[in-house]
Structure 1
Amino acid sequence: MLYDDPRLVALYDVLNPFSADTAFYLELAQSAGHIVDLGCGTGLLACELAKRGHRVTGIDPSPQMLRVARTRPEGDKVTWIEGDASALPFVGAADLLVMTGHVAQVFLDDAAFLSTLRAARRAIRPGGAIAFESRNPAARAWENWTRAGSSRRVEAPDGSTVEVWQERCAEPDPVSTGRAAFTTHYHFMPTPGAPEETLSATSELRFRTLDELARSLTDAGFAKIDWYGDWNRAPVSPASRELIAVAR
């Protein structure tokens, strides 16, 4: 798994800091009592929600990510569960369930995605909502998965410099299959205590259109869906980078 290596887990928050998406979900959650963060990662959003007085359950399949989450400020106020949507029947009714960080795209199989949405529907109390985002395939994000288009240098928590970039794999073809695979490279610059080293991990994502996402949400039992094309709640357009769903 990508985040089995503690060096990559340590980089996660550096590469995915508090940003406009975090602010969007915090605003959405203002009136929610119990919030479930499915695919919570290192717990940045979950702990911020707990800090603001919400009851929060964070669920993630990675024990390494949850290890970081538990040590965050406010981490002791969150209920952490190592698992996936199969844990939802045991967490209590939720006012809001979120899947952030493009978690929805990890489900390559449509049946598995629908099963997760149905589990979420059962876990959400009447009047509650699910919210998540998925990259808009019309924006063709995979075209920037090259070293020239995606490379950035960041400082790791230990002070070392790391260059990170993505390179798209030749197969599958995202236009015809709705899937795109890529390899993320982490090039650790040499330090007095460690040699130069590059770690690489390959991932695959599913790019669903708005119609495909809407059909899955409807089939899962959600009756009303609000769509946004960016974190400022602009309507979806062909140029939108995101497809953000808030469904009830």
Structure 2
Amino acid sequence: MRSVRGLSRRSARRRTGRVLVEGPQGVREAVRFAPERIVDLYVTAEAEQRYAEFVEPAREAGVFVHEVTDEVLAAMCDADTPQGTAAVVEWAPSDLPGVLAADPRLLVLLTHVRDPGNLGTVIRGADAAGADAVLVSDASVDVTSPKVVRSTAGSLFHLPVVSGLSIPETLTALGAAGVRRLAADGAGESTTEDADLTGPHVWVMGNEAWGLEEATLAACDEVVRVPIHGHAESLNLAMATTICLYASARQQRA
């Protein structure tokens, strides 16, 4: 129990190479897409019946399924309400060369994202929009933190997520690979409604508080803004990113 709870600490995740997945959505997607990486699955008696759709397939795949009480599960988990199930999963990090080798058409690069809920929601939105990968800078929140993992609702197992990236080096590598670098910023002359989003490109998103740094803006090929038709001053990072990704998906699938 202590070793599972310890995964709420970054040092423990780095040492073990494992992450904690809490709640039925995340555990279900881990069973569906990465059963070979599940070390242990924990479930309460009630949840075992409720979530038989993935508990039984997990057993059939050779996953160790442990029945625990609500109190034990709560002591293991970071979430206040783990909803009856959790899993310990081996972390399988992706890398930028591997992403670029797959000839991606739609990417997002998050620079200095600090809120775990924002990062997890962006990963989920990128998955829904059909993006090829999510890239995360080295000054951002840890992708493997329990709150980020929960916020992805299982999307973490659907697409590559590369973290710890140098922003200048990543922008250079993307440009060399023929990926247009689009900075999302309110100062953009073009908008998501009129920009050409048909070719391979990456949306470069800034920090929640101060946006994109000048050097990052200068390194991009174009600055594009999300149009605001009402009186709102700005949009939440995850909301703005999802709008940008869906604008791209709309054009690329037209």
What's the TM-score once normalised by structure 2's chain length?
0.31
Normalising by structure 1, report the TM-score: 0.32
- Structure showing greater Rg: 2
Structure with the larger helix share: 2
Structure number with the bigger relative contact order (C-alpha 8 A, sep ≥ 6) is: 2
